Structure 1
Amino acid sequence: MTKVAVVGGGISGATAAYRLRQSLGADAEIVLFESSGSLGGKLRTVELAGTRYDVGAEAFLARRPEAVALVEEIGLGGELAHPTGAKSTVRAGGRRVGLPGGTMMGIPGSADAVAEVLSDDGRRRVAAEAELPAVRLDGDVALGELLRGRFGDELVDRLVDPLLGGVYAGGPDGLGLRATVPALAKAIDDGAPSLTSAAASLLPATPSEKPVFGTLSHGLGTLVDRLVELGKPELRLNTLVRGLSRTAAGWSLDLAGGGLEVDAVVLAVPAPAARRLLEHVAPVASAALAGVELASMAVVGLALPPGTELPAASGVLIGASERYPDGRPLAAKAFTFSSRKWAHLDGPVLVRGSVGRFGEPGALRAEDDELVRLVRSDLAELTGITAEPIDVHVQRWGGGLPQYGVGHLDTVGKAERAVADLPGLAIAGAALHGVGVPACIATATAAASRITSGLPRR
């Protein structure tokens, strides 16, 4: 009987277990290990004022095919939901304005596209970028360094930083261009003389009518539950895999209660855990993954009294440089006005505040009650809403988001090549080729395929 271990019970591990079951059949033994007491990883759906509510990832990119295709494949297509027409906003220079179109992750195709976000000086700096000497890349570069040198600080601080903070919980100065905005890097490599022209070349001639994001009406936790239901792995919750070693026939997992021998292993865990498990069997991969840093964050879910009036927007992004009138920084990096954004959330008035940036623990040091107070204070400053919540949920994500620093693609390539030299071993997860749900599904599918292609048919 073929026996495969999957380490990590998030979306990557659940997808890998499901794909392995598809390929290996009902007789295969698939064991799914999760160090915590619940599955789902960064997909977590809770009850907030009687409503199922996501306090981890709340949506996936629908224009990338993997998540939508998997949802439909496993019979959850009827739960697929897309945002309403409510628009996003950004707090820029002390004002809340509409999030501009005509940009690639905040990098504009023209100065006019970002006029409302910038001051007169900022607009002039953006307009002048196309007249600078042609941009050239020598390998990878910090996104912030490149953008500040071409556009100045204002565009970066008011627009690019809040957008990247919403995806990575990290700022542009610590993120690499080639991993975070690969299409822009390719446009420059292909000869675009300026960042403005590179961004313009990537923007569609006419806006797409296809929805950008999707979710599940009963919460994204449903996706993991369904994958595990179909994959039928043996679940080992609250079980830490302490080590990994090769055997004559496959692999041995070091567990608190003894060892477990298997034919193959998929590691679908965060970079620090993968580094630890690979240290003795794939030291080159382990050393590479040690360079992937993580950001911590928290989500504060607020259920407000019925009738509370939310802004006519899906939410607001907040740059690290934004302040109260007295100079204090805001604690939150974003708010989602969930009841405006998602039509299926038709119960209580729901809002979620996101807190935490890479290298800046700030409000994350606060106890839960104080963190809720800080988030409510920010909400009042931005929207005027002071209503006392009828229910609250604080979800902390310690080391929740990997940072794609300069040279990230080289780092991941080095790790993947080292693992590829070891039959019966594969890696997957957000540390590799994207932090979103579709990217995690893609790495898990590839890992499962690598395992099954190398196993003898029995």
Structure 2
Amino acid sequence: MSEDRNRAPRVAVIGGGVSGLTAALRLLEGGARVTVFEGTGRLGGKLLAGEIAGVPVDLGAESMLARRPEAVDLARSVGLGDRLQPPATTTAGVWTRGGLRPLPKGQMMGVPGDLDALAASGVLSPEGLAAVARDAELPPTEVGDDVAVGAYVAERLGHEVVDRLVEPLLGGVYAGDAYRTSMRAAVPKLFEAVRTHRSLTEAVRSLAAAAPQQAGPVFAGLAGGVGTLPPAVARAVRAAGGEIRTGAPVTALERTEGGWRLGLDGAYEAADAVVLATPAHDAARLLARVSAPAAAELAEIDYASMALVTLAFRRADVAGLPAGSGFLVPPRDGRRIKASTFAGNKWGWIAEADPDVFVLRTSIGRYEDEGDLRRDDDELVRMSLEDLGAAVGLAATPLESRVTRWDRGLPQYPVGHLARVARVRGHVAALPGLRVCGAAYDGVGIPSCVAGARRAAEELLAALPAMPTLPEGAGAAGGQ
């Protein structure tokens, strides 16, 4: 290590998900010395690559928005550019009103703009379609500083469009309740558009018309799964001189005269600066002694739990499945599964790995509807197969099944979420050398997490030259 590197500021990154690893890489690029502390035995957070029936699969998030550059740029920067792949199909359905119906075109997060396409899909009843049509006759509705997506859409278009379209689409992203989810946080472009248009459907059409005709796919995956991204970023962190410690939970965080002190199971580590890249509840616990206001705000952020059931079949046994990427399930229909992804149709690399194996997955559980998650894995597999049989006639026996549980996996964005985040950042910014990032703040998607992590790192890099750095040898102290 060079003399300049030895004098560089020391930054501790707490959390080894994609946010923490991205922050660490950016800090290293800026000349800092970095140690990542991950409390569990693995890196990656909610991104997890695995295998079923000999085929590589994602056991967590499976795709990233490609129209935002941050995630695909990160993948390219860590050597995964040649593994980026668009979905082979994006045609999806909605299992509702007794059948599998096509997801209508011309909608934004379930909010329709093309009424002809909506009618042709058969998702809504005649009464539901009539309620949507009345939107054009209603006076504008004020949204104020924020408004719940479901409440606003129901007022304009009726509850049926919320229950059968908005709920399942938002649920696929947040596993949440559309009637509580912030429009400003979850669908910011629509939130701005409704301020300047008389009707909601007109606002959706204006966004579609104004959207740039971008080349390339909307979404991207990685051959082998997007769960391969965190290990690649971790390799880049280590190659740049960073240290990563797994199985190293940080139990305490304190301000010192020269910076920060981290408690780790009776031992201590010193740092000039800290990035907190943990779920909100863990960040709240660590901040309780250094910023009670920030901790109190973070403790109010709720999370939803869910389970993913991954099933592998002989491809010949499921030849009658629909050709699309899967289907959504409105909660109002009372089914156990919330969605199903036909991964074997959606991702070409699965078929390339083994042409005779077909993979699909279902999701179970959403915010305040988590009772089924108390059942054992075999029960969740059985419930998934029953619903798949009712939805698409699936009767085959799987070669293998895997259940992956994400306890408190998805932060909820209720009305006022962005105002809460601004308050948290204000409290945190008052403490020199501290920043926060992760899915709890600006978005749950991979690009949002990457962007937030880079922002946190860059803000620290800008501030660190003005801060005194710890002397060499001050990085560790024995436990008491």
Give the TM-score taking structure 1 as reference length: 0.95
Are residue 218 (structure 1) and residue 227 (structure 2) matched?
A: no
Q: Tell me the distance in 2 between the aligned counterparts of 1:360 and 1:149.
A: 24
- Structure-2 residue corresponding to 1:313: 324
**Counterpart in the other structure of 1:156:** 162
- Residue 228 of structure 1, aligned match among 234, 243, 248: 234
Contact 2:60 2:227 survives alignment (8 Å): no
Q: Which amino acid aligns with 1:340?
A: N
| Conserved 8 A contact 1:10-1:39 | yes
Question: 1:257 deviation in Å?
Answer: 2.9
Alignment gaps of 5+ in structure 2 = 1-5, 470-480
Matched, 1:77 2:81: yes
Per the TM alignment, residue 30 of structure 1 is displaced from its structure 2 partner at its CA by 1.6
CA distance in 1, matches of 2:227, 2:59: 10
Correspondence for 1:137:
143
Match of residue 38, structure 1, among 13, 35, 42 = 42
Give the aligned residue type for 2:131.
R
Describe the superposition over 1:378-407 as per-residue Cα deviations: whole angstroms up to 9, x where unpaired. Answer: 111111112111111110000000000010
Q: After superposition, what is the alpha-carbon deviation per residue over 1:262-285, rounded to whole angstroms, capped at 9, x for unaligned?
A: 111100001101111111212222
CA–CA distance in structure 2, aligned partners of residues 425 and 54 of structure 1: 33
Q: Partners in 2 of 1:397 and 1:147 — Cα distance?
A: 30
Cα contact 1:12–1:443 (8 A) shared by 2: yes
Look up the SS of the partner of 1:430 in the other structure. Answer: coil
Give the letter for the 1:219 counterpart: G
- In the alignment, structure 1 segments of 5+ residues that lack a partner are 323-328
Q: 2:259 aligns with which of 219, 233, 250?
A: 250
What is the aligned partner in structure 2 of residue 325 from structure 1?
none
Deviations 1:45-81 (CA, angstroms, capped at 9, x unpaired): 0111111110100000111111111111222110001
Runs of 4+ in 1 over 6 A off after TM superposition: none
For residue 85 of structure 1, report the CA deviation from its aligned partner. Answer: 3.1
1:20 aligns with 2:27: yes
Q: How does 1:3-402 map to 2 (within 5 A)?
A: 3-24=10-31, 28-115=32-119, 116=121, 117-189=123-195, 191-204=196-209, 209-232=215-238, 233-307=242-316, 308-309=318-319, 310-322=321-333, 329-346=334-351, 347=354, 348-402=357-411
Q: Deviations over 1:353-393 (max 9, x none)?
A: 11111011132111111111111111111111121111111
Amino acid at match of 2:155: G
CA displacement, residues 163-188 of structure 1 (integer Å, 9 cap, x when unaligned):
01100001211211111111111112
Secondary structure in 2 matching 1:178 = helix
User: How far apart are residue 249 of structure 1 and its match?
Assistant: 0.9
Matched position secondary structure for 1:371: helix
Aligned match of 1:414:
423
Secondary structure at the counterpart of residue 238 of structure 1 = coil
Is the 1:11–1:41 Cα contact (8 Å) retained in structure 2?
A: yes
Shift of 1:204: 3.4
Correspondence for 2:476:
none
User: Judging changes above 3 Å, is the alpha-carbon distance between structure 1 residues 210 and 427 closer, same or farther for their aligned structure 2 residues?
Assistant: same
Q: CA RMSD in A?
A: 1.5
Alpha-carbon separation, structure 2, partners of 1:129 and 1:29: 57
Count of matched residue pairs: 448
Compute the displacement of 1:42 (Å).
Answer: 0.4
Question: Is the CA contact (8 Å cut-off) linking 1:420 and 1:426 kept in structure 2?
Answer: yes
